[in-house]
Structure 1
Amino acid sequence: MNKLRILKVSFIRFKRNMHTTNGKEILVEKLSRITTIGINRPDKRNSVDFKTAKLLKNAIEEFEKDSNSYVAVIYGTGGNFCSGFDFNEIAELENPSESLSSLERGLMDFPSHIKKPTIAAVNGYAVAGGLDLALLCDLRVMEETAVLGLYSRRFGIPITDGATVKLQAMIGLSRALDMILTGRSLNAEEALQWGIANRIVACGTALGQAINLASSLTKFPQECLNVDRMSTYNSAYGNVFDELLQEERKNSKKVSVNSIVEGAKKFLSGLGRHGKTYNLTERTVCDWEKEFNTNNSNKPKSKL
């Protein structure tokens, strides 16, 4: 069966058999040897709250246990992959110090590693924790209009889900620091050049193309494929991957909880939307501006 035929069959089966196995926020579907896992909060740009994070973690664990499923494809519905953690959850916490300090892993509660090959179908925004999720996957199929970035930089939300470890190994120290320190956006072409994206595809085709790529992996002897996969990861991280992730999470806890909550509230107020890195603080108005403010009921006096 050629690639086009596989792609068409995948889409037909996906639409016909789409169902939710563990709640509407996460959609899980089996396509032969492939498991698709979809974040389904389109009205929130697929941001992840605590409930959704738990459902996503459960879906990944079920895929790992399923001996009949060889490859997973993670995607987002409604035009975006994932915009990170839902800041509403942080801003509305009754006891943020206790809630955030009790987290064993990062805000998104991702596993350190997925035991079998996983592909991210990246469309729209894959930012903040959404980029962490894409980096958790082995391969990234990215639409030509998609955007990557560590947008939480703008609001003082520390990286807790692996990006400081994985980016450095993937694209080198200099480029990793460029993304981490500036919070800049990365388009698909740059992401491919830098080594984050593995494929660039047309807008609207990331999921189908990712399923197609997953199909190509299922035909190989799986025992050998997974042994070589683990050897490659061990080579990249020198067998200290878990220790490095623990160090990232330990460092992130040095950021005060009050600062994190205030950052979440700033975002919810409208500052920094769509990846903007300017006008992130309230502007100081000088005395002369106040005097000449046309909204002031007292008309400014001429200085001439």
Structure 2
Amino acid sequence: MTVHYERAGPVAVIRVDRPERRNAIDNATAERLGEAWERFDEDEDALVGVLTGSEGTFSAGADLKAMDLQDRPEGWLGFTRTRVSKPTIAAIEGHCVAGGLEMALWCDLRVASESATFGCFERRFGVPLVDGGTQRLPHIVGLGRALELILTGRELDPETAKEWGLVNRLAEEGEALDTAVELGEVIAGFPQETVRTDRQAVYDGLGTTLERGLSVEGWHGSRAMETAREGADRFAGGEGRSGEGVPDEE
């Protein structure tokens, strides 16, 4: 199998396993990735999904030697035009370039180790960004920085990626997955209905007017009011005073 689905408590880990090709994605692997994310969405006990690669590399993107990917409705890489209903995190070691970067951008959050390397390295070969990179990258790092990466194909180190907002958390080499799972466990510990409605409101409001975005937010928020009332009752009963339960920054 080129893609593995594993559970770490409430966190599902989806791992690309083609180390001999730097975890590059051929058509069969793309199909397996799509199936894995469908499985995650249907797995009621999996609350957060983590995407990673095997043997110290996230992914070098499309397998240009195989060159057999198909323009499927779900995306060339099998899932990049889809949206799951639960939070996702990319755990990045080594190369996260070309389509690998686009897969990481699909995730809500990104954890990278000090070994990570980012970039649109496909620029050298005239391969276009067709798995969401041109759309997601500007939202995450801003237009100017996104265009610099896309047009120059430059390499980006993890510290600069963190400074730019591309990476949310840094980890020591070899610890990106553990850090991502720990972050996933924090998210999984919150009331999930509101986690999901707030997340959906963010995505549904992207690219709209403020007026429309506020309407979207109000609609999603209204679906979580029973959870909110339960939380208010817990607070009134003394839970969470003095910042109890607020996670640390790192």
TM-score range, shorter chain: 0.7 to 0.9
2:14 is aligned to 37
RMSD between aligned residues: 1.7
Aligned amino acid, residue 142 of structure 2: G
**What TM-score, normalized to structure 1?**
0.66
Match of 2:60 among 76, 80, 83: 83
Aligned amino acid, residue 139 of structure 2: A
- Mapped partners of 2:93, 2:80: distance in 1: 22
* Cα distance per residue 1:139-167 (max 9 Å; x no partner): 10000120111111110111110010001
1:176 is aligned to 146
1:116 is aligned to 86
Match of 1:162 among 111, 129, 132: 132
- Mapped partners of 1:234, 1:189: distance in 2: 30
Q: Per-residue deviation at 1:109?
A: 2.6
Matched-pair contact (CA < 8 Å) for 2:80–2:132: no
Aligned amino acid, residue 78 of structure 1: E
Q: 1:151 to 1:29 in 2, by over 3 A?
A: same
Matched, 1:69 2:46: yes
- Mapped partners of 1:176, 1:30: distance in 2: 34
2:107 is aligned to 137
2:196 is aligned to 226
- Mapped partners of 2:75, 2:204: distance in 1: 22
1:245 is aligned to none
1:244 is aligned to none
Match of 1:104 among 73, 77, 80: 73
2:172 is aligned to 202
- Mapped partners of 1:89, 1:63: distance in 2: 27
2:240 is aligned to none
Aligned amino acid, residue 220 of structure 1: F
Q: Per-residue deviation at 1:55?
A: 0.3
SS at match of 2:52: strand
**What TM-score, normalized to structure 2?**
0.80
Number of residue pairs aligned between Structure 1 and Structure 2: 209
Q: Per-residue deviation at 1:105?
A: 4.9
Q: Per-residue deviation at 1:111?
A: 3.8
- Mapped partners of 2:72, 2:6: distance in 1: 29
Structure 2: state its 5+ residue gaps.
210-250
* Cα distance per residue 1:207-255 (max 9 Å; x no partner): 111111101011100000110111112233339xxxxxxxxxxxxxxxx
Q: Per-residue deviation at 1:31?
A: 1.7
Matched, 1:215 2:192: no
- Mapped partners of 1:81, 1:32: distance in 2: 22
- Mapped partners of 2:84, 2:150: distance in 1: 24
Structure 1: state its 5+ residue gaps.
1-23, 94-98, 240-304
- Mapped partners of 1:111, 1:158: distance in 2: 15
* Cα distance per residue 1:15-72 (max 9 Å; x no partner): xxxxxxxxx2011111221111100001110001000010011000010011111001
Structure 1 moving runs of 4+ over 4 Å = none
1:150 is aligned to 120
SS at match of 1:38: strand
- Mapped partners of 2:5, 2:208: distance in 1: 34
SS at match of 1:208: helix
For residues 225-244 of structure 1, the aligned pairs below 5 Å read: 225-238=195-208
1:54 is aligned to 31
Matched-pair contact (CA < 8 Å) for 1:105–1:161: no
Aligned amino acid, residue 138 of structure 1: D
- Mapped partners of 1:63, 1:103: distance in 2: 20
SS at match of 1:88: coil
- Mapped partners of 2:80, 2:96: distance in 1: 18
SS at match of 2:156: strand
Matched-pair contact (CA < 8 Å) for 1:169–1:237: no
1:298 is aligned to none
